[in-house]
Structure 1
Amino acid sequence: MNRLQFVVPVRLSRGPGHPIQEIEGVAEAIAFLREWPAGRRGPVFNCAMNCCLAAEAGQISTDDARRSFAGFIRISGMLVDERIGHYVVDHSHERPMRRSA
């Protein structure tokens, strides 16, 4: 196994009707991030890119780079849950629901 290959691929989909894509290592993650629209890049994108580049340079672990990349994919709403094959929907931007007593 290549030292820059993820132990578990990051599974993502751009939405319903789109195929599931597996990102299997740091090089694929960097290629994916480089194609991300410039206008949609922010701090989480920058963190993921910096972590992947640092892993490529041997400065951080591949596992840390995977965690950062998977976090970016999750926040972007594209992460497919490995356990059940469904999207992981991020509702953090929504107001919390009130719970009745």
Structure 2
Amino acid sequence: MSDRRFDRPVLVRNGQFLIEEIGCLAEAFEFLEGWPKDRRGPIYKTAFRACERAHAGGVPLSVAHDAFASFARSAKILEGASTAMPCAMGAKSSRGSKST
């Protein structure tokens, strides 16, 4: 499978603490194929079909990205950049600046 990159990655929680970056169609397929069979509902199936169609060139890659992100949101595993990188989002230091 070609490594077709998403415009922006989808961050998902994989396990209790691990955040995984899904940055391309191949990674989305790999994640979806590893999803527990007893948790594969209609939204999972829609995301998988969107990835298949994007791979075949039937829909834009953005459709697969958005469907995968919707699946992750519905499964409550979607993470935002602020969650994935808490140290980068910390309070701003006031060192060296004066209030006027």
TM range (shorter): 0.7 to 0.9
Which residue of the partner structure matches residue 24 of structure 2? 25
User: Does the CA-based 8 Å contact 1:10-1:70 persist in structure 2?
Assistant: yes
User: Does the CA-based 8 Å contact 1:4-1:55 persist in structure 2?
Assistant: no
Matched, 1:11 2:18: no
The structure whose Rg is larger is 2
Counterpart of 1:7, as a letter, is D
Counterpart of 2:76, as a letter, is G
Which residue of the partner structure matches residue 53 of structure 2? 54
User: Does the CA-based 8 Å contact 2:3-2:26 persist in structure 1?
Assistant: no
Q: Give the unaligned 5+ runs of structure 2.
A: 85-100
How many residues of Structure 1 are paired with residues of Structure 2 in the alignment?
83
Higher strand share: 2
Q: Give the unaligned 5+ runs of structure 1.
A: 87-101
Supply the distance in 2 between the matched residues of 1:71 and 1:37 (Cα, whole angstroms): 17
Supply the distance in 1 between the matched residues of 2:22 and 2:14 (Cα, whole angstroms): 13
Query: Sequence identity of aligned pairs in percent?
Result: 35
Superposed CA deviations along residues 7-47 of structure 1, whole A, max 9, x for unmatched, are 1000011354x121100111110111011111111100000
SS at match of 2:83: coil
Deviation of 1:81 after TM superposition, in Å, equals 1.4
Q: CA RMSD in A?
A: 1.7
